Amino acid sequence: MHADITDLRVGIEAAKSLIQGAIANKFYPNTNSNNSRKQICIADLGCSTGPNTFIAIQCIIEAIELQYKSQGLAIPEFQVFFNDQISNDFNTLFKKLPSNRNYFAAGVPGSFYGRLFPKESLNVVHSSASLNWISKVPKEITDRSSAACNKGRIHYTNAPKEVVDAYANQYQKDMEIFLHARAQELVGNGLMALQIPAATDVTFDSDFYCGKNFELLGTCLLDMAKEEKVDEEKVDTFNIPIFFSPLKDLIKILESNDDFIIEQMETMDAKSHFIPVNAQMYVSFHRAALEGVIENHFGNGILDELFHRYTKKVMEIPAIMDLQNLNIVGLFVLLRRKV
């Protein structure tokens, strides 16, 4: 376990040294001089618009360079693929690319729950804080005749067991699809460094950190439905496609995969990604993460009013921003593609 991380800068530093150390120790340089493919291809999956993706890529490249240098080998060229959903703002990402970068950059749009790259074309895959997004809300969640129907809530916190199970089943299927796709895309001995948010508690009640803020957002939507500003039916069928797997279940999924060897696995403090300093920052963090799915479901007409209401409620209950008892951790895992 890592020590408590109390500010954002220290958090990012800890994540950086973890990735750098893992790659530096475990990356095997290509020493076969007959090999015509001399470039190293790296993909960051769920990259968003930066800057975290640029920091992670730089760490990975520095760690690989170190390996080549220490073995007296010529430094290879690097090709980096930045992947996210088609709705991601790739223009902003490209504008923010570091001007002094020592790699070729390309954007790859599409879901990582499926193939994105040709077979055996990647040397390193990285993904951080993205694999808690499931590919879709399970069908039964919005089916009124199902025991897993989640009417009156927008997430599985405080929901019946059937709702939690439906999310968990979707998560397991998605993770298996993700691992299978990457197993085809990575070269033999290729590495995959994942930082996956997971829940330390198995109970998803009102104390569950992310549940609390999703519940509060849900009350804003319900208020707007009462005032007929949004359609009640639309609120009933809206669910956030995010799942924080119980840590032990996530580890089981990773351990039961046959294509990869687990080289390193440890938990990190999830606060490294988010330290809110005030209600506005807290709300903008959630808005950035959620506005795409809200807009897809309701259209963009409601976003400003919804998040204005949410900000007011967060200011009324500032304790909601307290991360002291955060029951989410980041699982860092380094996987090696079996040859």
Q: Which residues bind ligand SAM (CB under 6 A)?
A: 45-48, 52-53, 83-85, 88, 111-113, 128-130, 133, 135, 289
Q: Nearer Cβ to ligand SAM, position 129 or 159?
A: 129
Q: Nearer Cβ to ligand SAM, position 243 or 310?
A: 243
Please, what is the minimum distance in Å from the beta carbon of residue 33 to ligand SAM?
36
Q: Which residues pair with 3 in a beta bridge?
A: none
Please, what is the minimum distance in Å from the beta carbon of residue 285 to ligand SAM?
9
Q: Which long-range contacts (CB under 8 A, 24 or more apart) does 280-287 make?
A: 280/311, 282/314, 282/320, 282/321, 283/307, 283/310, 283/311, 283/314, 286/213, 286/217, 286/310
Please, what is the minimum distance in Å from the beta carbon of residue 52 to ligand SAM?
3
In sequence order, what E strands does 27-113 have?
Answer: 40-45, 78-84, 104-109
Q: Nearer Cβ to ligand SAM, position 121 or 189?
A: 121
Q: Nearer Cβ to ligand SAM, position 29 or 138?
A: 138
| Eight-state DSSP code of residue 74 | P
Q: Nearer Cβ to ligand SAM, position 133 or 310?
A: 133
| Eight-state DSSP code of residue 131 | T
Residues 6+ apart with CB under 8 A from 219: 313
Q: Nearer Cβ to ligand SAM, position 83 or 213?
A: 83
Please, what is the minimum distance in Å from the beta carbon of residue 186 to ligand SAM?
17
Q: Nearer Cβ to ligand SAM, position 175 or 279?
A: 175
Q: Which long-range contacts (CB under 8 A, 24 or more apart) does 260-263 make?
A: 260/179, 260/183, 260/192, 260/335, 260/336, 260/337, 260/338, 261/335, 261/336, 261/338, 262/333, 262/334, 262/335, 263/22, 263/26, 263/191, 263/334, 263/335, 263/336
Please, what is the minimum distance in Å from the beta carbon of residue 47 to ligand SAM?
6
CB atoms within 10 A of CB 241: 18
Please, what is the minimum distance in Å from the beta carbon of residue 176 to ligand SAM?
14
The three-class DSSP label of residue 75 is coil
Please, what is the minimum distance in Å from the beta carbon of residue 286 to ligand SAM?
10
Residue nearest ligand SAM (C-beta atom): 46
